[in-house]
Structure formats: C-alpha cells, structure tokens
Amino acid sequence: MPEYIAILDFGSQYTKLIARRIRELGVKSLILPFDTPAKRIKTAKGLILSGGPFSVYDPKAPLPDKEIFDLGLPILGICYGLQAIGHLLGGKVVQSQKREYGMAYFVKKKDEIFYGIPRHSSVWMSHGDRLEVLPQGFTPIGFTENSPYAAIKRENIYGLQFHPEVVHTTFGTQILKNFLYRVCKARGEWGIEGILMGAEKELKKAKDGRAILALSGGVDSTVCAVLSKKILGERVFPVLVDTGLLRHREAEFVEKSLDKIGVEIKVVDASQIFIDALKGVKDPEKKRKIIGHKFIEVFEREAKKVGAKYLIQGTLYPDRIESAGVPGPSKTIKSHHNVGGLPKLMNLQIVEPLKELFKDEVRMIAKALKLPKSLYMRHPFPGPGLAIRIIGNVTQRKLKILKMVDEIYINELKRHKLYDKIWQAFAVLLPTKTVGVMGDYRTYEYVVALRAVCSSDGMTADFYPFKPGFLTLVSNKILNRVKGVNRVVFDISSKPPATIEWE
C-alpha cells in the first residue's frame, strides 16, 4: 500500500479540504471515522485530527482512541483536534470569553513545522473554545491575541488552533507541507494517476449491467460520461433531464457540446413535471427534496426503457459534506438534490465515481482526458437549477426573468474576458419588489442580485472585485432589457459565513 496520511473526521466542514490539500502536496490521504481503533492507523505515515462543531468537554463529544498517542506516529491536531489532544492528555479546554471567527494575526516560534514561514502571519480561526491549561510535556510554539496556545507541541505531536487547510491562512499550505515532509518524512507518491484509478474503480461497480448517467453538461457529469464510456462502453446511457429550470438554451448547448466529444445523449423534456411539483413551494430544503425525487422518477422511467439498474451521477465531496452525506458527525448545511434530496427507496443503485473529489480535481481529470476548455472551465451550476436562484415560490414568469438576466450577465463576463477568472457567477431573483422610476412612470418590480466568487474548491470563497464600470454596464443592460426588474444589487459576502448559492 502506498504511503498515506490518515485523517480522523470529527465533523468539520473542512475535513475533506484537509485531505485534498494533502493530496495536492503529493501524499495519499484517507479519511477515517473519529473512533477508528489505533491498530488500524499504525501503518499510516502520519495522523491528522480534524476540526469539528463540538466541545470536547461535552458528555457526548466525539473523541479518538487514546492509544493513537502510543503509536509513535507524527500527529497534527487542527482546531477541535488540538482541543481533543489537550483534553485527552491532561490539559484543560474551556469556553472562550472571546470567540475567534475569521482572520487573526499569528506569532510563531522556531520549529520544523513553521520552516520558511515569517514570524508574523495571518491565520483563519473558527472556534468558540480554547485550550487554557497545557497537557504535561507540551510547549507553546505560537499564539494570537485571544489564543495563547494557538500552536503547541510535544515531540512529534502538534496542535494548531487555526485552520491551515483554508486559503485564508497565508502560509497554511507551507505548514502542511512541513508536517508531511519535515515531520512525517513523506516521499510524495500521489498524483492524477491515483485519482483516475479511484474514479474508474467506482465505475466498475456497474460492470455487470446497464447504467443511466445523469448528465447536466457541467464538468462533473461530462467527466463521468467520458469515463463511463471508457469503462462501460455501450452499456451506459447518458440522459439530460430538461427540468424547465435550466438556463436559456442550456439543453441545446449541452447536446451539441457532448456530441462534439463523441458522447451521444438523450434529452428528456420533463419541465412541466418539475414546475408543477414546485408550485407554491417556498422553502429551499423542500425544493431540493422535491427536485431530487422527481429526478429519480424520471431516471427510473428511462432506466426501464433500456433495462438499466445503475444510476451514475457526478456527485462531488462538497455536495456530500454539506448534505451530511459522509460517515461521521458532520452537520447538514443544505441538502443537495443528488444527496440529501434523494428518496430513501430507489430501484436504481447509485454509482458516484467523483464522490471523493473537489471541483478542481475533477478539472484535473478533464484536462488529462483532453476535454475542451469550454467544457471543463464552465462555472458550476446547481442540479436544482434556477429553482434555488429564485427565492420563494417558482413561477414561469420568474423563470423567464431570471433566464434573461443570467444570459446578459454571463455574456458580458465572457465579452470582457472575465468568465475564466471567476469560479462561479450567477444571478438571484429576490422575492422583494421595490419602487423605481422608468420614463417618468412609477414602477414596482423585482430586485436581482448578482454573485461572482473566486475559489479553488468551493469550500471557501471571496467575492470577485469587479471594477465599478463593469457592474454599471451590466446593471444598465439588465434594467433596459428585462421587463420586471428595476433594481440590481451585488453580493459581497464571503464563504464562510455565507454559502456561494443563496439557497
């Protein structure tokens, strides 16, 4: 077995991000339940304890097998992981009087894990508890204004109160690299070949029958389609469901694009089914579950036509982690239609070749498969489509308005060569109407919000800093061309605390 780093998952939304960072640095990573017995971890090159939403002093707090500290492995505790180390080894963790959420200024002491890092740097905090009394034998190797023990060490056991895995920690990647190569003495043997092997291994679960492939035209389902054709050949049937919630001429674009790379798809017009099912529904979780159920109904109907027993879909890890669809104590952020929105009883077996990957890793596969950039650099588009970009109930009129706004916005991004600089951009139709003046007449119309974010993985994001002139241009075009809108706003929230999508 190749060398690997084991990661114990305590329910952090960033656990898989830690794993991805480790893989980016050339080392295989495996996520394991927090209570995995120490004897199952002894072959690892090193061990990381993730963050989590709990307090270690709670009676039902998830804690690791204490024998992990007797294995002699290098250990790195992150946030809750640091607190678990402190708690189990005799220190004291208490609720902090001053919680730390967001950026903090970190001061380090000299140590291998901080090799090549300046004494002062910015780190990302997200905690309400803090270590107040150090366990015996540990020494502090870094602090912030509110955390005197922001970094601790005993021999090869480390704890960090901040999150080195998120991009907001200025030298976070270097810290993880130091842990891998200077503390764990890793060799670095992981790359695209291993990622592809994992995806293909999952697809081989469907090798004994036919499969329907849920196609959207995004990079995830497109990669699934190409890999499925490679592994399953003519036994896979890609299907694009036109829910009526897609962007303007989306189905037509996807069909033509996939045909150019040799993937023949079937487009099923189910728009009336979805729109009827959403009538009067305002709650976003209900929308997602209704859409998830309707998708399965359509796919099961199509599967019967070709005798398929499998459903292949391009679920990514962020979808699963936000829907709490992964083993462990993760909290639900929102139910994705292809995870938390799926019915409990289905006639199809789900196959998810990309379920352990992040978006940028899927794009790595797309490049390796030599897919055109116009496909693998498309912005993410949610499976529930415009239903979750219309806040409140969904109607045909609102869909028409939002499709027109979206088309103007995206076209201008492409025209100004901004599209590829942005991770995801879209418009949201708000349930609010405001007073306006058009041609000396009073109007009372909808507000649309424009969103554009920069990200590497979708787990954290910052808004794109457009020049005011561009936003003015887009706003004017929307207000002049789209009947029913008289106000345009721009969303400048980061993730966290917000999410990228509004619902």
CB 39 within 8 A of CB 32: no
Residue from 24, 100, 165, 202 carrying the catalytic annotation: 165
Residue 175: which of 145, 150, 194 has the closest Cα?
150
Report whether 432 contacts 446 (CB < 8 A): yes
Q: Which of 3, 100, 127, 163 is catalytic?
A: 163
Dist CA 368 CA 427 (whole Å)? 32
**SS3 state of residue 392:** coil
Give the CA distances from residue 174 to residues 16, 386, 449, in Å, rounded to whole numbers and listed in that order: 18, 39, 37
Q: Is 79 a catalytic residue?
A: yes
Measured on CA atoms in the order 323, 328, 330, 331, is the torsion positive or negative? Answer: positive
163 is known as an active-site residue: yes
Instruction: Judge residue 377's burial from the number of C-beta atoms within 10 Å of its C-beta, 0-12 exposed, 13-18 middle, 19 or more buried.
Output: middle
Asked whether the beta carbons of 81 and 53 are under 8 A apart, the reply is: no
Tokens 């505790």 correspond to: 77
**Is residue 427 within a helix (H) or strand (E), and if so which, with residue range?**
strand 424-438
* DSSP of 224-235: HHHHHHHHHGGG
CA distances from 338 to 216, 248, 386, 387, 477 (A): 12, 23, 16, 15, 35
**Which of 3, 24, 79, 100 is an active site residue?**
79
Number of H helices, E strands in the chain: 13, 18
> How many angstroms separate the CA atoms of 306 and 363, rounded?
30
> 296 is written with which tokens?
């399965």
CA gap 194, 361 in Å, rounded: 11
| Both tokens assigned to 274 | 């979805």
Q: Which two tokens stand for residue 76?
A: 């790195």
Nearest residue to 79 (alpha-carbon basis) of 164, 17, 144: 164
Would you please indicate which residues are annotated as catalytic (active-site) residues? 79, 163, 165
